[in-house]
Structure 1
């Protein structure tokens, strides 16, 4: 078989430098840095009214296509030698784009909650009982309005990101929209990351699920797996499908990632596999209303503080 043709590079939309908050960020401060993942989180002010903005910078994976490798090892890549010893040598290499691209996420205007979310803090393990959820967590979520989900409604109503939808089942009870997560660059299949957003507005998290929702969960699993295999060629046994608890936002959604990808939040302290959730509910309908849920929270988070004070 011959080499596959390279996919055409997506056209970049022209950005108005004078208006975009990225170019007007003043006095950026590092909120957090994850060096092993080549990630940095910044906070700064924008405009004369000094509105807050959060900027997330992430080094993109190497372009390992034939065209990408050819450009990497071309004379356009600048080298500065750092060490030479017998057969070993090291260099600071400065390749041309796309190898030097930096994935950039801008949250603007950002709220205090966004700034707190991305600020480095000590974390601790929290055990939330079913009663804790009803008496502490649920009232807290209602009072704090923790992270707006308007952007989710925009997707479900086709006001935003409609061109990114991979699959949709429009059924109001068991339907969902499947689309790429913002963390995925849409190129590297090994780091494949999609999410399913349910059409129902009355489900916030795992805590709301019972036997009445089994058709919804099974539908998302089967049709999500089928859509991903058809679109990206990734078979179901190569997928990790899971919920987060606690989730970043409270509209029920499910994560689909390539098992080869060490996705953020895929560890045992936060991820709950969809197959396990289905089986647990089949065993006991109110399993997630009664179960003590263990998660990792930031030490200074108000909810973590409240839950820590419970007996």
Structure 2
């Protein structure tokens, strides 16, 4: 996922939009000066940095840089080992040996996401924070969450650019063009598309104005069923993955307020699949079938970071 989360929030990244590739005469990290390490994960081999870069204006621009080790590819690794790359022995004990191996540059890439200019919201998003659970009732949504959402200036123009084929048209893998019950299916930028084991696609619905789970009623069942059935069929034809090997879900709270559905390989530990955030599409459809107003009245639980403004709103009314 390689750029601004406003241009491409599927950084979702809480993500996350690139648009079509751009040609630039300047390096995106020209004059980068580190300000802080926002977060790092040894397990996931990723680090989040806040820095300043030399922008088009005279003033340096705040920038968030995400450095992430790319996944291994079986063919490339097999070829690497057969070539006897340089190794340095670190430890040997009986049958166990640990070496540091130096791969060639082509196999030592680092996926680099650049968000520039980064706002304070972007910087806080990637800063390690304490988390708090919110148990949001239907009334809480109407009284606290919805007014908060409507008061924000969240830009989802990048979503409309995709739907209108103004950006990323060449990346669309499937489309149902129906304006009311249709959607597009596109790879998420968290997936490099080089191994199906990490498969990650997003279905973005064509109708506008459906912000999240909370808006869904029986009127939306044809749309949801199309996404479920046609999305699985498209992935089966393209990647050979049957529906019983897919995790298909919606986030609540979502990372951007235009209805979208995540398709990931069941064996892939994708971000955002925790029980307090991911809602399986099968279950969503069944819940609405049993009660058309299920998501208007149901208490939904989700986590918020300590610095999030929505958490402050809940604290103001004594809900957290």
Which TM-score applies when normalising by structure 2? 0.88
1:90-109 mapped onto 2 (5 Å cutoff): 90-109=98-117
1:261 partnered with 2:271:
no
Deviation, 1:284, is: 0.7
Segment drifting more, 150-159 vs 243-252:
150-159
Write the distance in 2 (CA, Å) between the matches of 1:266 and 1:180: 17
Native 8 Å contact 2:211 2:259 kept in 1: yes
Write the distance in 1 (CA, Å) between the matches of 2:120 and 2:214: 26
The aligned counterpart of 2:17 is none
Match for residue 225 of structure 1 among 229, 232, 236: 232
Write the distance in 1 (CA, Å) between the matches of 2:230 and 2:145: 32
Cα–Cα, structure 1 residues 233 and 24, in superposed 2: closer, same or farther, change >3 Å? farther
Cα–Cα, structure 1 residues 207 and 23, in superposed 2: closer, same or farther, change >3 Å? same
Write the distance in 1 (CA, Å) between the matches of 2:101 and 2:250: 40
Match for residue 210 of structure 1 among 204, 211, 217: 217
Native 8 Å contact 1:60 1:99 kept in 2: no
Deviation, 1:51, is: 1.6
Runs of at least 5 residues in structure 1 that lack an aligned partner in the other structure: 1-12
The aligned counterpart of 1:70 is 79
Deviation, 1:291, is: 0.8
Write the distance in 1 (CA, Å) between the matches of 2:136 and 2:61: 35
Write the distance in 2 (CA, Å) between the matches of 1:238 and 1:305: 39
The aligned counterpart of 2:140 is 132
Write the distance in 1 (CA, Å) between the matches of 2:131 and 2:106: 36
1:96-245 mapped onto 2 (5 Å cutoff): 96-146=104-154, 148-245=155-252
Cα–Cα, structure 1 residues 96 and 208, in superposed 2: closer, same or farther, change >3 Å? same
Native 8 Å contact 1:59 1:103 kept in 2: yes
Write the distance in 1 (CA, Å) between the matches of 2:305 and 2:69: 25
Which TM-score applies when normalising by structure 1? 0.90
Runs of at least 5 residues in structure 2 that lack an aligned partner in the other structure: 1-20
The aligned counterpart of 1:5 is none
SS in structure 2 of the partner of residue 260 of structure 1? coil
Deviation, 1:246, is: 0.4
Match for residue 79 of structure 1 among 76, 87, 96: 87
Write the distance in 1 (CA, Å) between the matches of 2:160 and 2:23: 26
Write the distance in 2 (CA, Å) between the matches of 1:248 and 1:157: 21
Count matched residues: 295
Match for residue 38 of structure 1 among 39, 45, 57: 45
Deviation, 1:300, is: 1.8
Native 8 Å contact 1:190 1:261 kept in 2: yes
The aligned counterpart of 1:22 is 29
1:306 partnered with 2:313:
yes
Deviation, 1:107, is: 1.4
SS in structure 1 of the partner of residue 271 of structure 2? coil
1:275 partnered with 2:282:
yes
Native 8 Å contact 1:72 1:99 kept in 2: no
